Structure 1
Amino acid sequence: MAVYVSPKGARAGSAGTFIAAAGNFAVMAPGTNIGAATPISATGEDLEDTLASKVENDAAALIRSIAQTRGRNEDKLEETVRSAASYSAQEALADNVVDLITEDLDDLLAKLDGLTADTSLGMVVLETEGLEIRTIEKNILEHFLEFISDPNVSFILLTVGGLGIVVEMFNPGLVAPGVVGVICLLLAFLALGNLPVNWAGAVFIVLASVLIMLEVVVAGFGILGVGAIVSLMVGGLLLFTQFGDSSPTLPSINVNRWLLSGTGGVVGLALVYVVGLAYQSRKEGPPEKASVLTGMLGRVTGELAPKGIVMVGNETWTAVSEDDSVIRIGEPVEVRSVEGLILTVFRRIDPETQENS
């Protein structure tokens, strides 16, 4: 029935001009404008000559027919298509482009009261005085969807989700990381479905999660960690980056640079700490093992010349012979000392062998 361009500073541009012109009553608030309805491409660029002429003539004919139906100024409305003309609220009212100017919704309802509108059911007299105004608010689900559709939140969900899944894959049975990861990923995909996402960025973020876990598991001494941070930063930058022509109607969407930098910094510090622990562990070895292993018997499984492999207590260890002598596969040895993850062993004479000799 009534199309209201409001509040102050709002505009009915492009398709909004057609919508306003098609209403039974076109109403504007002070400080608003209408017009600039010249057709352009979906990317905001001008159309090619032939196509532009066809589309422009079609749009001009449409808005003239709308103006004729609603009894509005055909020439002025056609100019919004032909020459991208725009009019202020006062100009539009003076040129019969719109019907009314009202200060607010209450003023709108007061001025509409008693007016007659031509509808599909015939002529209808509007009775808007004292009409109950019902405001439609967002429900909890819509607020939640709006929250997770924030580019920064969706980035965090994707990162945490990918990391949780990878942790569960490398450590089956933990359960919690897998559950959290699946939930975060599902929420991330739900959010990304409402955003202009670049899936190459999502792949980079998942790759970063894999590299982080590989760094922890195989101890890449920082190489995999650096790759993880680089992959994470690149993924965050690409996640909502659209290459080529972009739609002029879409706002600029990207992950906050401070959030991206902070996430990269936290991941970097965490990896430095983990790599440091891994290096220290390799250097010192498990302290509780040293006293237990000393004096234990084992057998050579990889020739010591003087370094090789021994089996001690059903565990495989790197070992060196105490006197740098060669100890062949199958010979018994005894652990003299433990330094880090390397055992120092000496050849132990097998009693049975000694008796036979």
Structure 2
Amino acid sequence: MKADGRTKLIFAIGMIFAVLLSSLMVMADENDTSTVVYTVNVEGMVTAGTTNHIRRAIDMAENDGAEALVILLNTPGGLVNATLDIIGDMISADVPVITYVYPQGGIAASAGTFIMLGGHKAAMAPGTTIGAAMPVQIRPDEEGSTAADDKTILFLAGHMKSIAEARNRPGDVAEKFVTENLTLSGREALESGIIDRIENNLTDLLAGFHGESIDLESGRTTLNTKNAAIYPLEKTTQERITHLVSNPQITFVLLLVGVYGLIIGFSSPGTFVPEVLGAISLILALYGLGLFEVNFFAALLMILGVGLLVAEALTPTYGVLGVGGVISMVLGIIYLPVEPLVSERWLSQFRFMAFGIGIIGSVVLVIMLAGIYRLRKSPVVHGNNEFVTDMATVVETIDPEGLIMVRGELWKARSVSNERIDQGEKVKIVDRENMTCIVKAEEEK
């Protein structure tokens, strides 16, 4: 009996130990953060800075052995070259790339749709939208924007289809994003096979894709993303600056600051602040201009406008050259960017910004002309009569020549009657001959 009791006790203790051990194993599994997932936020306009950010994130994820890279999308569109570079990096990435339209209510339009299709896995949050990727352009005879030429549309539609098919998604639906300006909700995108899942948040997304297989260049891998540690990768300072100056709106503001800074600096030298600020802004603007597609003839208009403004500042024509310069600058800015993947709203904002620059330029021009007009109307302050009737102090005895201090400056002086005037005495300037002031002692009245 005692043996049976002892056996039962040992069995009970063993059961309790087994339950505790299994519980600890489950807790350890739930808190396992040995796997890492990196995330990148793509918000606002897609620029060269966005390209650099995603490229660095892919390299870090590959080198650090991350389980996956999640690109969070909430963008209305962006620059063509930047978008194509991002897709190229994603296609060749040797780490699983998951694209996720997030947060709820967000969009991945135009360039954002291209990027979304480039992920090995794609998902959307509830209430999000993708599509509207038909390329657009500004036309001189249109108030807003219009569809780009057929060549551009066909190329981008074919590229969109190619990206979708490379990720085993329906190419016929993908190309309609470009040819028909198709837009899809999360549910519609899921039903058509464009995306793989609809998830409320990032944690659910990683749990949902856990265990799924992905084909990489290095071979097939199985996602182990459940309970993975999430590390957001923020932009570096360099990437933020590149993102800023590669936005055409910022580029043209910098260009305006640069041009007027140099004009004001050269017209009124001395402080060096306008020249330095203008030079830095101009260099940043020129760097930014090289990061997006431009219209050659619009660039010529801008160069002409800058030349006319400089000519107006150096050889004032009472506004004739200045007005022509402002008009050329505004027209050049409006038609300079050739970016078919930006949104129509962005194009409208860009047009308003161009007119705003024109108004600011006109105001600065009016101020400059008013100043020039006042200068031409004001009496001459230099010449032989500049110091006449001014009082001065002798700093070196005049016998018959010496030095005087007038208006904080040292001038050579000669007595009108060739008499001696001692140092420290007050004299009155009666005339000036070249660089010599003619003076008489104060008491000689």
Q: Verify same fold: TM over 0.5.
A: yes
Mapped partners of 2:371, 2:280: distance in 1: 28
Instruction: Give, as a single letter, the amino acid of the residue that structure 2 aligns with 1:249.
Output: L
1:101 equivalent in structure 2: 198
Instruction: Give, as a single letter, the amino acid of the residue that structure 2 aligns with 1:98.
Output: I
Mapped partners of 2:374, 2:356: distance in 1: 27
Alpha-carbon spacing, 1:262–1:136, altered in 2? closer, same or farther (3 Å)? same
Secondary structure at 2:224 match in 1? coil
Secondary structure at 2:379 match in 1? helix
- Residue 228 of structure 1: CA displacement? 4.8
What's the CA shift string for 1:294-317, capped at 9, x where partnerless? xx9xxxxxxxxxxxxxxx9569xx
Mapped partners of 2:228, 2:365: distance in 1: 58
What's the CA shift string for 1:207-244, capped at 9, x where partnerless? 323322333xxxxxxxx13235414422441341217x
How many residues are treated as equivalent by the alignment? 277
Q: Which has the higher contact order (CA 8 A, sep 6+)?
A: 2
Aligned partner (choices 78, 87, 109) of residue 184 of structure 2: 87
- The residue correspondences of 1:171-210 to structure 2 (distance < 5 A) are 176=272, 182-194=279-291, 196=294, 198-210=299-311
Q: 5+ residue gaps in structure 1? A: 169-173, 216-223, 297-311, 316-357
Mapped partners of 1:78, 1:237: distance in 2: 35
- Residue 113 of structure 1: CA displacement? 2.2
- Residue 10 of structure 1: CA displacement? 4.4
Aligned partner (choices 233, 238, 242) of residue 335 of structure 2: 242
1:119 equivalent in structure 2: 216
Secondary structure at 1:123 match in 2? strand
- Residue 101 of structure 1: CA displacement? 0.3
Contact 1:14-1:38 at 8 Å conserved across structures: yes
Secondary structure at 1:281 match in 2? coil
- Residue 155 of structure 1: CA displacement? 1.0
1:272 equivalent in structure 2: 370
RMSD value, Cα: 4.5
Mapped partners of 2:289, 2:299: distance in 1: 9
1:32 equivalent in structure 2: 128
What's the CA shift string for 1:79-114, capped at 9, x where partnerless? 667866543211232344422101122221222223
Aligned partner (choices 143, 148, 169) of residue 45 of structure 1: 148
Alpha-carbon spacing, 1:142–1:80, altered in 2? closer, same or farther (3 Å)? closer
Mapped partners of 2:320, 2:225: distance in 1: 65
Query: Normalising by the residue count of structure 2, what TM-score does the alignment of the two structures yield?
Result: 0.48
Contact 2:132-2:177 at 8 Å conserved across structures: yes
Contact 2:305-2:324 at 8 Å conserved across structures: yes
Mapped partners of 2:178, 2:376: distance in 1: 69
Contact 1:36-1:80 at 8 Å conserved across structures: yes
Alpha-carbon spacing, 1:206–1:65, altered in 2? closer, same or farther (3 Å)? closer
2:103 equivalent in structure 1: 7
Alpha-carbon spacing, 1:231–1:57, altered in 2? closer, same or farther (3 Å)? closer
Contact 2:102-2:124 at 8 Å conserved across structures: yes
- The residue correspondences of 1:36-75 to structure 2 (distance < 5 A) are 44-45=147-148, 47=150, 62=162, 65-66=165-166, 70=168
Mapped partners of 1:94, 1:76: distance in 2: 11
Instruction: Give, as a single letter, the amino acid of the residue that structure 1 aligns with 2:287.
Output: L
- Residue 29 of structure 1: CA displacement? 1.6
Q: 5+ residue gaps in structure 2? A: 1-95, 139-145, 391-415, 417-431, 436-445
Secondary structure at 1:264 match in 2? helix
2:386 equivalent in structure 1: 288
Secondary structure at 1:241 match in 2? helix
Instruction: Give, as a single letter, the amino acid of the residue that structure 2 aligns with 1:47.
Output: D
What's the CA shift string for 1:235-267, capped at 9, x where partnerless? 441341217x95432442354544543443344
Mapped partners of 1:57, 1:210: distance in 2: 47
2:323 equivalent in structure 1: 230
2:262 equivalent in structure 1: 161
Instruction: Give, as a single letter, the amino acid of the residue that structure 1 aligns with 2:99.
Output: V
1:345 equivalent in structure 2: none
Mapped partners of 1:76, 1:180: distance in 2: 50
Instruction: Give, as a single letter, the amino acid of the residue that structure 2 aligns with 1:153.
Output: L
- Residue 281 of structure 1: CA displacement? 1.8
Aligned partner (choices 226, 233, 248) of residue 136 of structure 1: 233
1:327 equivalent in structure 2: none
Secondary structure at 2:319 match in 1? helix
- Residue 38 of structure 1: CA displacement? 7.7
Mapped partners of 2:211, 2:388: distance in 1: 96
Mapped partners of 2:229, 2:196: distance in 1: 23
Query: Normalising by the residue count of structure 1, what TM-score does the alignment of the two structures yield?
Result: 0.58
- Identity of matched residues, %: 25
- Residue 127 of structure 1: CA displacement? 1.7
What's the CA shift string for 1:122-147, capped at 9, x where partnerless? 43221223333332323333444555
Contact 1:159-1:206 at 8 Å conserved across structures: no
